[in-house]
Amino acid sequence: MLNVLLKKQLTEIFRSYFYDPKKNRARSKAGIVAYFILFVVIMAGFLGGMFTFLSLSICDALAAVGMDWLYFALMGLLAVLLGAFGSVFN
């Protein structure tokens, strides 16, 4: 049952990658690959880089003054808030 649900959800999420509603036909193989590469670049490159830079800069500053616990509290709070925001607006 879980596999069927995951397949359905992933198909809905990535439906626009495989099908072009304006032209009412399937996308080419090159178009599909380009969309997935763009998705990986945006998610891993941009968002991953942004949060890595944020966490490294905060960690250095807070570790220097002995407030390591605050770093973990802030990162945990950020993760919970982004998870809740993402689940509400998905």
Please tell me the pTM assigned to this model.
Answer: 0.58
The percent helix, strand, coil of the chain (3-state, each to 5) is 80, 5, 15
In whole angstroms, what is the distance from residue 74 CA to residue 78 CA? 6
Beta-bridge mates of residue 20: 25
What's the pLDDT at 90? 61
Structure tokens belonging to residue 9: 């959800």
At 46 the three-state DSSP class reads: helix
pLDDT in tens, 22-68: 888 888 889 888 988 998 898 888 888 998 999 999 999 999 999 99
Task: Give the pLDDT band (50/70/90) at residue 11.
Answer: confident
